[in-house]
Chains A and B, each alone.
Chain A
Amino acid sequence: MLTHAPFAASQPQSPVRIGALPESARHALTIEIGGLPIGLHTADPDFRALLAARYSNFLRPESHAALEFELLATAPGPLPAKEKLEVRCEQGRWLLARGDFRAWFDLRAHRGHLACVPNPYSVDTLLRVVHSLLLARAGGLLLHASGGIREGRGFLFSGVSGAGKTTMARLAPPEVRLLTDEISYVRGGGEGFRVFGTPFAGELGIQGEDVSAPLAAIYLIEHGPANRLAAVAESDAARQLMRNTLFFARDAELVAAVFATVCELVRVIPVFRLEFLPDSRVWELVR
């Protein structure tokens, strides 16, 4: 059965209300990924419309969010394609910087700011970083992986760029519900691990569905001369998954928490190496 699990552990005791933000920031929307609602507020109705379209599968009507961001427009200019993202924490405040944006937020105060030229890519990066930080503390992680739900069970296909994440999503049979073709959301809990759909799209260019399911297996994918499945030793699986995990902060405590999550993941979830041809029959091996 597909369920939408709440992210109760990360909900603030006293959620911030939209009314607490400046009057000018009245065009709001709430984006909920993995059960964690994040509020975005902008004075620009066109930017709001852009974001509403970009995250349409993950919008929530309610005005309460675990974190509230005010989006501040900066002057337009060319966006550097490859400038490195910097993430650091200073006295409890997280600071993010890249060529196209600056952001700062306080997880304890449940609020922050993003200054950018209105575009969805800066917001995408902000959301990935925020979710990666919150997940690290909550026994979860963001993984470079496509994923789908089949018969109520979640399957992930993890690999570096070019390994075939989008191809696996494209080859999925019709009954498979797409979680993402690029970034998977994995969260641990008392009953094992769950996977959630995300709006983070790769080459497929479409959002995942807003659904979740228990994680049944992880496949480390690579293109090969045949469709072939092999078991992977726990240590090799952990090594590979650490490489494929999205984590931006150089914070020893959080990195150790992610490592612990990966170790637990490979202990309880079967991990396979999957070589495949670009042929839909590869899904016959996904069970």
Chain B
Amino acid sequence: MSATYIARSSAVAARRLGDEMVVMSAVDSTLFSLSEVAAILWECADGRTPLECIVRERVCSEFEVDAETALRDAEEFARALAAHGVLLISAEPIEPSAAQSAAAGDRA
């Protein structure tokens, strides 16, 4: 099975407000409120760490969930945010410049 990498788009603003992580697409101003688990995935989306590692080391270790279910949910979450252009998904590690060009492409 190939690895999945996720990276935050640069055209995104994110803030922790109280207990909640709020992410906004700066392209269309859509706001997303992330759950506790989603916030962990968001914060770890550095483009270099495989999603499976993030899930195993940061999600399964803190929440009572099996790795297979957690990975499936994480991939679904990643696809949902990617559809709005706030997260990038790739089978290869993602360079920071790729996140910036994706954002520039959205703005063009």
> Which residues of A line the B interface, CB within 8 A?
233-235, 238-239, 242, 250, 252-253, 255-256, 259-260, 263, 266-267
B11 within 8 A of A: yes
Contacts A242-B24, A259-B13, A259-B24 given: A235-B18 contact, CB under 8 Å? yes
State the majority secondary structure of interface residues on A.
helix
Contact yes or no, A252 B11, CB < 8 A:
yes
B20 within 8 A of A: yes
Query: Which listed segment binds A: B26-34, B49-57, B63-71, B73-81?
Result: B26-34
* Cα A37 to Cα B59 with chains together (Å): 54
Complex partner residue of B17 from A235, A250, A252, A255, CB under 8 angstroms: A235
B54 to chain A, nearest CB (A): 23
B30 to chain A, nearest CB (A): 10
A-B contact pairs, 29 of them (CB 8 A): A233-B18, A234-B18, A235-B17, A235-B20, A235-B22, A238-B17, A238-B22, A239-B22, A239-B31, A242-B29, A242-B31, A250-B27, A250-B107, A252-B11, A252-B26, A252-B103, A253-B26, A255-B13, A255-B24, A255-B26, A255-B29, A256-B12, A256-B13, A256-B24, A256-B26, A259-B13, A259-B24, A260-B13, A263-B17
* Cα A255 to Cα B30 with chains together (Å): 11
Contact yes or no, A259 B15, CB < 8 A:
yes
Q: Which residues of B contact A253 (CB under 8 A)?
A: 26
Contact yes or no, A235 B33, CB < 8 A:
yes
Tell me the nearest residue of chain A to B26, going by C-beta: A252
Q: Which residues of A contact B15 (CB under 8 A)?
A: 238, 259-260, 263
Q: Which residues of A contact B12 (CB under 8 A)?
A: 256
Q: Which residues of A contact B31 (CB under 8 A)?
A: 238-239, 242
Q: Which residues of A contact B17 (CB under 8 A)?
A: 233-235, 238, 263, 266-267
Q: Which residues of A contact B13 (CB under 8 A)?
A: 255-256, 259-260
With A242-B29, A252-B26, A252-B27 already in contact, 9 other A-B pairs whose C-beta atoms are closer than 8 Å = A234-B18, A234-B20, A235-B17, A235-B20, A235-B33, A239-B31, A256-B26, A259-B13, A260-B13
* Cα A234 to Cα B24 with chains together (Å): 15
* Cα A259 to Cα B103 with chains together (Å): 17
The 4 closest A-B pairs by CB, nearest first: A252-B26, A234-B17, A256-B13, A235-B20
A36 to chain B, nearest CB (A): 24
Contacts A252-B103, A263-B15 given: A233-B20 contact, CB under 8 Å? yes
* Cα A103 to Cα B13 with chains together (Å): 30
* Cα A259 to Cα B28 with chains together (Å): 12
Q: Which residues of B contact A239 (CB under 8 A)?
A: 22, 31, 33
B48 to chain A, nearest CB (A): 24
A115 to chain B, nearest CB (A): 28
Contact yes or no, A259 B26, CB < 8 A:
yes
* Cα A253 to Cα B26 with chains together (Å): 7
A15 to chain B, nearest CB (A): 32
Interface residues of B in 59-108 (CB under 8 A from A): 103, 106-107
A268 to chain B, nearest CB (A): 12
